[in-house]
Chains A and B, each alone.
Chain A
Amino acid sequence: MDFDFSDDQESLRDAVRKWVDKGYDFERRRKAVKAGGFDRAAYRELADLGLTGLYVSEDHGGMGMGPVEAMVAMEELGRGVVLEPLPQTLIAGGLLSGYAPADLQSAWLPKIAGGEAIVVLAYVERKARYKLDVCETTAAQSGSEWKLSGAKSVVPVGDKADAFIVPATVKGKIALFLVERSAAGVTTRGYGTQAGGRAAEVTFKDSPARLVTEDGLAALEHGVDIGIAATCAEGVGVMDKTMDATIEYMNTRKQFGVTLATFQALRHRLADMKMQQELARSMSYYASLKLNAPAAERRRAMARAKYQLGVAMRFVGQNSVQLHGGIGVTDEYIGSHYFKKLTELELSFGDTLHHLGEVSERMQDTAGVFA
């Protein structure tokens, strides 16, 4: 049992942090938000750092790294409230590497690793919300070709991505497909998200698709779990910055002739935020360290982690705004952007109530980190 980071992991952290601090400041982010919430140039810089190939094997031009490295990278991107959706790239790398046939892997993984292709998971449906086993999108085989029809919602950078990983029902069972955005019958309607990023409604009409795996539900669950672990780490990064900003504000802002840090009511609120921050960090570690566990154990762990993170992100976000007072509810102050990011992360890959239900459903007689 050991929670220290290796030297390599520390250098990865330093490299990403340096890029965030020097290459991705608030102004650049603001411009990207105004321009639609996605900056392809910034995404390529993530690729230059090697991050897009984090879960891609070295054979396919990636880094062949594991969940702890992904966590380190995501914490740092969280600190920069980076818009470009690395969790999606982690999912695509993980899913294609783990489940796709060899030719599909060699066609896509090098491009994903190099940042030339963006592949995102398109799984949310109007009737499914966060449920993974509800899927009205269908696929059917005609000759040697698969055709896929249906509609997916809130697909990250859906109108900019190069391809989608799409769950679709085949004879009552969910399979996973890869569909290119340029394929026939694909239409997208893009929009900004609450935290300044970009997403789209994506519809497929008899669109040509490649089968990733017939065991689609297991793969989809795995993909979402990669997303959950990444989101938890990202949330920790955003919360760390939120706390830093709040602490600095409390130590400098004066009212009634004294700093805000003087007031016990506010100090206790900050102590409660610190509690949530550390519980969240603990559970983010837990999520990443359980990501390669057997499916049942992994699913239970992700539900526990995302529930805790959801509680923490909402608490830290809301209370940070409150402790800032008026400046906290302005667009010009970065704090409100942290808050909106935390809110969006809570709603991604299953919100807090959803995961409470998952934890509830999956409870065993015993419980603990190792059970």
Chain B
Amino acid sequence: MDLAFTPEEQKFREDVRGWVRENLPKEISDKVHNALRLTRDDMQSWARILGKKGWLGYGWPKQFGGPGWNAIQKHLFEEETALAGAPRIIPFGPVMVAPVIMAFGNQEQQQRFLPGIASGEVWWSQGYSEPGSGSDLASVKTRAERKGDKYIVNGQKTWTTLAQHGDWIFCLVRTSTEGKPQTGISFLLIDMKSPGVSVRPIIMLDGEHEVNEVFFDNVEVPAENLIGEENKGWTYAKHLLSHERTNIADVNRAKRELERLKRIAKSEGVYEDQRFRDEIAKLEVDVVALEMMVLRVLSAEKSGKNSLDVAGLLKIKGSEIQQRYSELMMLAAGPYAIPFLPEAMDAGWQGDFVGAAYLAPLASTYFNLRKTTIYGGSNEVQRNIVAQTVLG
């Protein structure tokens, strides 16, 4: 048992840190550190910088052009980029669909899709949720009917994050209504420029356009875009979820945001208020405990000696922490969180702030992060899963 990283791991961390310092544009990290609005260009230019280095697919094995890092190296990369103020990698391409294509796609599909994901050129969206399928994902209704060498897709996806920028979308579609709901689902890749695909924005409670509805109206999809076998899509989607291990906890971002919370609390004069400070202290312990839990999982993965099935716990705690720091930031601002100036979240805005510039995004972030306990399997669904594991 040893808490310290090995000298090699330390060296790795320093190399990543040095590279990030050299290559992360300051105007982007400034926005991240101050919770200002990121444009599509911001997100994509960082993705391209990573892509050029070969690190956008930082979890990929060498055989598919990735760096072949182990669990600890991946964690250190995530930590260094998060603490430096890098935007989160938009996960849908490199983190979500790519591992499925690697595991279940054919060679042709791998050669066709993976390079665009690795370079950051092609923006992917995730077509899972539907109006009638939230936490109960297996009930998806979007139909894909095989006609010759094509599928004809009809239906609707929703909560599709950043689909307004999407080039491609990977979808769970229903190809059969026989048997259990899970058994009639297929995993289909759809070009969003196909005729019949339309995207409608959903404006969220923070006033932002982050998610969309995506409609499919007799969309023709070449059968060669089917991943693996027809009606096996649920298995592939589950593989994808099991691939999402520790980064679901987002502990590195939480560490960065805890630092920001302390800065805000100091500026607002509540850091010396014992009642307020104790709330930060509780959050600090939560963050350290979550980080320890993440490190335990990484260690178990590295050694392969014991398996640690705590993904549900990591999701619950990680999301609760995100909500809590955003809540405390807003409470630190107090009455100055009431003014709502969405335009003040654009970098370089020249208007008059109320109170101080850093106060403008706080309420918005608080509203935005309410999603974290709902998406990715709501925390209540996670509790069901945890209880199932515990009770057997």
**Contacts from A to B (Cβ < 8 Å):** 1-6, 9, 68, 243, 247, 250-251, 261, 264, 267-268, 270-272, 274-275, 278-279, 282-283, 285-286, 288-290, 304, 307-308, 356-357, 359-360, 363, 365-370
Contact = CB atoms under 8 A, between A and B. Distances in A.
Nearest to B4: A1
Contact of B281 (A2, A360, A370): A360
Contacts of B382: 271
B152 interface: no
Contacts of A6: 1
A4 B293 contact: no
A5 B289 contact: no
Contact of A367 (B288, B305, B384): B288
Given A270-B391, A286-B288, A356-B278, A368 B262 contact: no
B285 A308 contact: yes
Contact of A282 (B1, B277, B293, B391): B293
B298 interface: yes
B1 A68 contact: yes
B390 A360 contact: no
A273 B207 CA distance: 37
Point out which of A250, A279, A283, A286 has the most chain B C-beta atoms below 10 A from its C-beta: A279
Given A270-B390, A278-B310, A283 B274 contact: no
26 contacts: A1-B2, A3-B300, A4-B299, A267-B384, A267-B391, A268-B380, A274-B386, A275-B313, A278-B293, A278-B310, A279-B290, A279-B293, A282-B292, A286-B3, A286-B289, A289-B3, A307-B282, A356-B281, A357-B278, A359-B284, A360-B278, A360-B280, A363-B284, A365-B259, A366-B255, A369-B292
B241 interface: no
A350 to B, nearest CB: 14
Interface of B: 1-6, 9, 72, 255, 258-259, 262-263, 274, 277-278, 280-282, 284-285, 287-293, 295-296, 298-300, 302-303, 305-306, 310, 312-313, 316-317, 380, 382-384, 386-387, 390-392
B6 to A, nearest CB: 7
B259 A285 contact: no
A4 B297 CA distance: 11
Given A2-B2, A3-B295, A283-B289, A251 B392 contact: yes
B84 to A, nearest CB: 13
Contacts, number: 141
Contacts of B289: 279, 282-283, 286, 304, 308
Which applies to chain B's interface (DSSP): helix, strand, loop or mixed? helix
B255 A368 contact: yes
A356 B279 CA distance: 9
Given A2-B302, A275-B316, 16 more contacts: A2-B1, A4-B1, A4-B306, A9-B1, A247-B390, A261-B391, A271-B312, A285-B1, A285-B292, A288-B1, A356-B281, A363-B281, A365-B262, A367-B255, A367-B258, A369-B292
A199 B216 CA distance: 74
Point out which of A3, A243, A264, A289 has the most chain B C-beta atoms below 10 A from its C-beta: A3
A304 B384 contact: no
Q: List the 6 shortest-distance A-B pairs measured between CB atoms, nearest first.
A: A282-B292, A267-B387, A271-B383, A271-B386, A360-B281, A3-B299
B288 A304 contact: yes
Contact of B3 (A1, A5, A9, A304): A1
Contacts of B274: 360
Point out which of B305, B306, B387 has the most chain A C-beta atoms below 10 A from its C-beta: B387
Contacts of A363: 262, 277, 280-281, 284
Contacts of A275: 313, 316-317, 386
Given A274-B390, A363-B262, A1 B285 contact: no
